Structure 1
Amino acid sequence: MPTDLQTDIMMDTPQALDQLIQRFTDLFEQRSYPSTPYDPDWPSLCYHHEAKLGEEVPWQPVFSQRRSDMFQRLGNALDVTIHPAIAAYYTRYWSDPLPCRMQDGRLISLLFAWNEQDMERLRANLIGHAMSKQKQKRPLTLFFATLEPDTDYMISLDNQDGSIWLERPGRKPEQQLAQDMAAFLKTLEPVRFSS
C-alpha cells in the first residue's frame, strides 16, 4: 500500500506532466505540429495519420491509455523498488523527445517512449545505467532527459529520494536541479521545434 508521500508523488508528477504537455500542445497549435518521417515498422499512436515510408507526418504526444508493468519488471530485474515519480513520468504519454528550456536558460530534451518496443529499449538502457551505478557503488539514478546540444550530460531522478540531478555517465551527480519531478517539470518552458 502506498504511503502518503508516494500518493502525493503519484498525483503531483502526472499533473505537472499534463500541464507541460498542454503547454506544448498550445505551442503546436500556434505554429504547427512537428513532423517526422513515417515508418510503418515503428508504429505509434503519436502519428496524426498513416503515410508512405519516409513521408513527413505530423505527430504529437498522446496520453497512454494502458497500464504498463515495465517499471515493476525493471525493479524486479534490479532487485529495488523504483521511485513512483519516474514510473509515472515514463508511462503517462507516448511521444518523441520534447525540447524545453530550464529556468537557467539551458536547453534539454525530455525523453519518452514512442511505442511498446521503444519502452522495452528504454528498459534495457535503464538497466545498463543501473548496472553501471552498482559497479561504481553509487546510488541509483534513472535518467529522463538530456542536456542539449550534443553533450554527455543527462538529467536523472535519484531513486532514493526523488530529487532531480544533472549528471554524466560514470560520475556522481553534479548539480541538484529540483527537489522532485513535479517541481522540475513545472519550471520548464516548451521550446519550438526547429523547422
Structure 2
Amino acid sequence: MPQPLIEKIDSFVAAAINLQLRQTGRLPLTIYDPEWPSECHQQPSEPGQQTPWKPVLQSQSDNSCHDMLDRLEQALGYSIHEDLRLWYSRYWSDPLPATSEWGELSLLFLWSEKDCERLRGNLIGHLLTKQKQKQPATLFFACTEPDGEKFLSINNQTGEIWLEQPGKQPIMKLADSLEAFLEKLTPKPIPDMEQ
C-alpha cells in the first residue's frame, strides 16, 4: 500500500477530530438511524436521537469495500486507481469538512458496509456519463460547499486531482496526486446533524 498516502489520510482525519475536540469539547453528533448502523457510533442510542460519532479505521478483515471496488472493476472492464481504492477503504466516516485555496469542501467517505453499494451505483453512473461524453474516467471523492454543485475527482489514469461539474469537461487541475492535494487542506469543525 502507498504508505505516504495512508499517512496523509490518517493525519487529516486525526487533525479533524482534534480540532473538533478543541473547539467543542466533544465528538460531533449525528442522528441514530437503525437502518444505517455504523462502527462510527460511539454509544448506543434510540432511533432519531443524536449520538456522538467519529471516523473509525476499517478493519483489515473487512473486505466489503474492496469487494465492491472489485465488482466495479468487473462491471467497467478496467482497474480503479489505487489512490481511490485506498481512500474509500481506509475509514468509515460521515463526510468531513475542509477548507482549501479553492474554497470549502466536504470529503466523502463510506459510513458503513451498507453504504458500499450506494457508492458503487453512483460511481458507475458517473463513469458511464464520462464514457458517453468521451471524457477521461474520473472518480469523485469530495464535493464543494455550501452548494455541492461541483466535485473533486481522481483522474483514473494519472491520479491527478481535478475540479469538475456534472456533465462537463473537468474545470481545473488542483494537484498532481491525492497525497499532494491532502497537504493543501485544513480541517474544519464537523457540524452536528440536527434532529
Q: TM-score scaled by structure 2?
A: 0.92
Change (3 A) 1:44 1:194: closer
Equivalence for 1:25: 17
**Bigger shift: residues 33-42 or 123-132:** 33-42
Q: Supply the distance in 2 between the matched residues of 1:105 and 1:56 (Cα, whole angstroms).
A: 32
Using CA pairs below 8 Å that are at least 6 residues apart, which structure has the higher relative contact order? Answer: 2
Amino acid at match of 1:69: D
- Whole-angstrom CA distance in 2 between matches of 1:90 and 1:194: 21
> Which of the numbers 113, 127, 131 marks the counterpart of 1:116?
113
Match of 2:8 in 1: 16
Find the counterpart in structure 1 of residue 143 from structure 2: 146
Separation in 2 of the partners of 1:75 and 1:161?
Answer: 17
Given candidates 125, 137, 140, the residue that maps to 1:128 is 125
| Deviations, residues 116-146 of structure 1 (Å, cap 9, x unaligned) | 1111100110000000000001110000000
Residue 42 (structure 2) pairs with residue 48 (structure 1): yes
Structure 1 moving runs of 4+ over 3 Å: none
Amino acid at match of 2:133: Q
Post-superposition shift, 1:57?
Answer: 0.3
Q: How far does residue 105 in structure 1 lie from its aligned partner after superposition? A: 5.5
Are 1:158 and 2:155 matched, yes or no?
Answer: yes
Which residue identity does 1:44 align to in structure 2? S
Q: Secondary structure at the match of 1:51?
A: coil
Cα distance in structure 2, aligned partners of 1:131 and 1:164: 19
SS at structure 2 position matched to 1:170: coil
Stretch of structure 1 that moved more, 75-84 or 28-37: 28-37
Q: Which residue of 2 aligns with 1:4?
A: none
Q: Secondary structure at the match of 1:69?
A: helix
TM-score normalized with structure 1 length: 0.92
Shift of 1:69: 2.0
Q: Of 169, 172, 175, which aligns to 1:175?
A: 172
Structure 1: state its 5+ residue gaps.
Answer: 1-6
User: Aligned partners of 1:155, 1:105: CA distance in 2, in Å?
Assistant: 11
Task: Quote the residue 2:30 is aligned against.
Answer: 36
Gap regions ≥5 residues in structure 2: none
Q: Which amino acid aligns with 1:114?
A: W
Q: How much is the aligned-residue C-alpha RMSD, in angstroms?
A: 1.2
- Aligned sequence identity (%): 44
